[in-house]
Amino acid sequence: MPPVIGWGILQAGSYGLSGRSPVHCAASGFAVDHRFMRGASISGQRWTAADLPDLSGSTVVITGASSGIGASAARQLAGVGARVVLAVRDVSRGTRVASTISGQTEVRLLNLASLASVRAFASAWSGPIDILINNAGVMYLPNERTEDGFEVHMGTNHLGHFALTNLLLPHITRRVVTITSNLASGGRINLQDLSWDRRPYKSSQAYADSKQANILFTLQLQRQLSVAASGISAVSAHPGVAHTNLMGHLAGLRGSMARAVVRVISQDADRGALPTCYAATQEIPGGSLVCPDGYRHFRGYPKLAPAPRAAQDPQMAAELWRLSAQLTGTDFPSV
């Protein structure tokens, strides 16, 4: 078995093994808006899309919504009345997906591997955004660079969303949801070599680092929102192992074995989108992590879990934020 597959199975689902209370992943100062957040409690129930609240009049922006978890989340949220903006790299593909969704949708160009594209998207925006879902991501790519020279996983999965969130934050009224992975616990972020300029490159580690960065970003964002006494909350979610096209580019034996393993332990994209939809709409503390409730969090219904220990380090979160702000030229605005 190729090392990347074995590593993924060993690392997946390690959230929550310490038995800590979910309060350990929440920042203080979060206030629930009961006018907006309604639906079934997660306690003692199997929460499904049927429990989503009415989102009529709300605007939701979802990055990477032209396939997989993003497309499923768009379909579910539009189905309960939200205006859903599919922020996608391929507008033609996004338009085809939008045509299959019942409800109000809009497709806009966004390439998270380009800070110019991120800035263009944000500068063109007007009006409120109730929920921003940072969903887009790349996985197990070769050692490539973004348009701005960043390592492709960190640049797309973290830095692009970091910049987008900060630029859109003056428009956001309710919540920021950032999608991570059950491989985030294997992250070993090197702030002195974030783009792998001085280390032998390993795509699986680069992906895990970027997903750990997503959680660190969420927790630091929530800390800053709390200090600012903002009514916005920041949370994260991961889909477990979902059968999507995220690894469709992997070729040869490695790709075949990866897809075979995923087929055995995964759930479909609609089920995989449930943690995203729960995190976006339910009464949970800022800083929370939502993941599937099944074995090793591979699959199942949404539940709260503590973040991996390394992603709970406030100093690391603050240092990553400072570096990300320097690299992207964006920072936390007055909200």
Among 18-22, 252-256, 307-311, which stretch is predicted with the lowest mean pLDDT? 18-22
**Mean pLDDT of all residues belonging to the chain:** 84
Q: Which domains does the chain have, with CATH numbers?
A: 3-328 (3.40.50.720)
Catalytic residue among 15, 140, 201, 207: 207
Residue by residue, DSSP assigns 164-224 as HHHHHGGGEEEEEEEE--TTGGG----GGGTT-SSS---HHHHHHHHHHHHHHHHHHHHHH
pTM: 0.83
Tokens encoding 117: 């594209």
Beta bridge partners of 87: 63, 108
* Distances 97 to 48, 65, 86, 152, 242 between C-alpha atoms, Å: 22, 8, 9, 25, 19
Annotated active-site residue 140? The verdict is no
Angle at 152 (CA atoms; ends 149, 156), nearest 5 degrees = 100
pLDDT digits (tens, 9 = 90+) for 94-139: 999 999 999 999 999 999 999 999 999 999 999 999 999 999 999 9
Per-residue pLDDT for 251 more than 70?
Answer: no
Determine contact, residues 233/176, Cβ cutoff 8 Å.
Answer: yes
pLDDT of res. 269: 77
Rounded CA separation 86/294 (Å): 29
